[in-house]
Amino acid sequence: MATAKTKAACPVCGKPVTKAARPFCSKACADRDLGKWLGGEYRIPTEEQPEVIEGPEREEEERD
């Protein structure tokens, strides 16, 4: 058994890390983690960012 790549897990939710959002599984978790840091010490107004809307409502695609 060779030492395989370390399977990193998202420190926020524990899901597998993705390249795009390392060291988190997604930008959402990255933001959450960042929010912990900021929210712990500072109180800044939260800018509510509209979620990216992907066109008209779609039927839920199968995930996983």
Q: Give every CB contact of residue 33 below 8 A, 6+ residues apart in sequence.
A: 11, 12, 24
Residue 38, both tokens: 């900021």
Give the residue, chosen from 8, 13, 20, 34, that forms a contact with Zn ion under the rule CB under 5 A: 13
Residue number, 37 or 45, with CB nearest to Zn ion: 37
**10 is a site residue for Zn ion (CB under 5 A):** yes
Residue 22 near residue 16, CB atoms below 8 Å: no
Site residues for Zn ion, window 26-45 (CB under 5 A)?
29
Residue number, 3 or 36, with CB nearest to Zn ion: 36
